[in-house]
Structure 1
Amino acid sequence: MTATAAAHWTIDDLDFSRIALDVVREDETLFYLACSASFIESGSDLYTRNLIDYFEGDEEVTQWLREHWEPEELQHGRALRAYVEHAWPEFDWEPAYRSFLEEYATYCKVELLAPSRALEMSARCVVETGTATYYRALARATTEPVFVDLASRIAADEVSHYKHFYRYFRRYRDQEQVGRARVFGTVARRTWELKSEDADCALRHIARSRHPAQAADRAWLRALGSRVSRVVSRNLHPGSTLKMLMRPLDLPPRVENALQVPIEHFMQRVFLR
């Protein structure tokens, strides 16, 4: 094990006995936020296999995906699951997750990746930006100290993952001579997809177990999704998000500055859809 891997946090670093149950027990929105995140993170091995197949032959990338990215993403899922099971022990996590995974697996296809390795790395930068932003927002959305600690740890991991994907993007961009216009198209499209069908899928399957009487009501589900989105949107701090999003575009400073306000408005629309 490398020194970096040895230094990485583990679930044992979290003291779930310290969860302030009086803060979270009645917070249904936080329940859905934490539980949906636990589902999506727990299914990250599906994406890892696709990416390893896509980047076959690039040992640096595939080794990092296999030995660092996948274990850390799966640990996020286990830690979030542990939090949910400590805070809301009446929720039967496993069968709800299995139901979710059956549908979620249909979204994870190699053919949905970007058409070149450079563009896929730029898309990965957007995804890591989105997840870092999401967990930072979750850390601000509650005062419960164990969840704040957990969400902050995951956000830091996502920033670290972003740095790796960005480095690989630069290498492939130079190899493929991909122009800024194509990178912009990928970044814009993937940003619009940040609030994706993945989250909606997770909410549906959680609701079927948590609130079966309401889960068949599409209006109720839409209201739930809107409530969850508003919590994230209200707690966004766009500064670092914008820098991460625009970095693969390698824009002149004056152009980057001019785009900050419209991109900030765009991000608000993404999370409020």
Structure 2
Amino acid sequence: MSSPSLPWSLENIDLDGIDLARVRDNEDLFLLLCSASFVESGSDLYTHNLIDHFAGDDELQAWLRDHWEHEEMQHGRALSAYVRHVWPEFDWEAAFKGFFDEYGAVCTADELESSRGLELAARCVVETGTASLYRALNDVTDEPVLKTLTNFIKSDEVRHYKHFYQHFRVYRDRERIGRYRIFRAVLKRVNEIKSEDSDIAMRHVFDRRYPALAGNLAEFRRVTSRAQGLLKRHLPAEMTVKMLLKPLDLPARLHNALEKPLTKITERLFLH
């Protein structure tokens, strides 16, 4: 079987060209990038759950197996390569193993929505979160290689969103899912945006990075809140709201009436 065609490759990331002075001493950026590399590197677990969930849908299963999984895993490889190059003293493999062992125990098919259509709506929320994450990371940094990498990943995540959204529309009509149920599924996943996987990843990064503070919940919250605050100040609020509202398929006038105030609310919640 031939390898999948990917939109970009690791050869496009010039690790030797990294301007270390711009990133080396940024602990917040280290925590964010390393935890993201863990989640992306463990993506084969939830990909396999999704493939099983959509048994019988050959088209969607083929895309998940032959494209989405490979692109997500490439994100993990590229991010881990960047982290290892900038922070070579960090034992990435050992920390990732701890994450993967714990995450593997909780990443189960039980976490998925029973309705395929609602699960695809939830996937749209997740892809909104990842696209927003990498857009924010791109805005946070002025290191050229990292800007290239985060732009590649952000573009992949937006494309993944569009693909899930197309399949969502098919299942929405097939299962006759009303707007209220979609809203509930979207809201549920939004409320879980600080998801279990990213929290587990951040904890394993923190414990390995600061072994003297391992298990110190107060210090963990202090350090990670500072890093998360950096992201929130760069959240692309308008893009995020547009992507979240789309599955609701609201009438144009209602959509337009909600978009601006929701964008302002999002900015107030996250940017101040």
Q: TM-score, normalised by structure 2?
A: 0.94
List per-residue Cα deviations over 1:136-175 (Å, max 9, x = no partner).
0000011011111101100000001011100000000111
Shift in Å at residue 263 of structure 1? 3.4
How far the C-alpha of 1:36 sits from its partner, in A, is: 0.3
Tell me the amino acid that sits aligned with residue 137 of structure 2: L
Greater Cα offset, 74-83 or 188-197: 188-197
CA distance in 1, matches of 2:269, 2:205: 22
Q: How far apart, CA to CA, are the structure 2 residues paired with 1:216 and 1:269?
A: 32
Q: CA deviation at 1:267?
A: 4.5
- SS at structure 1 position matched to 2:90: coil
Query: Conserved in 2, the CA contact under 8 Å of 1:195 and 1:271?
Result: no
Q: Is the 8 A contact 1:200 1:225 kept in 2?
A: no
Residue pair 1:136, 1:151 contacting (<8 A) in 2 also: yes
Provide the C-alpha distance between the structure 1 equivalents of 2:266 and 2:54, rounded to a whole number of angstroms.
29
Contact 1:52 1:62 in 2 (8 A): yes
What's 1:221 paired with? 220
Unpaired runs of at least 5, structure 2:
none
- The TM-score with structure 1 as length reference comes to 0.94
Give the match for residue 192 of structure 2.
193
**Shift in alpha-carbon separation, 1:93–1:189, aligned structure 2, 3 A:** same
Q: 1:195: Cα distance to partner? A: 1.5
Partners of 1:86 and 1:40 lie apart in 2 by 19
Q: Distance in 2 between matches of 1:271 and 1:217?
A: 26
Unaligned runs of at least 5 residues, structure 1? none
Report how far residue 269 of structure 1 moved. 8.2
Answer yes or no: is 1:250 the counterpart of 2:243: no
In 2, Cα distance between the equivalents of 1:119 and 1:271? 27
CA deviation after TM superposition for structure 1 residue 200, in Å: 1.6
RMSD over equivalenced CA pairs, Å: 1.8
Query: 1:31 aligns to what?
Result: 30
Equivalent residue letter for 1:130: G
Aligned equivalents of 1:268 and 1:196: distance in 2?
Answer: 20
Identity of aligned residues (%): 53
CA distance in structure 1 between the partners assigned to 2:30 and 2:248 by the alignment: 36
C-alpha deviation, 1:228, in angstroms: 1.6
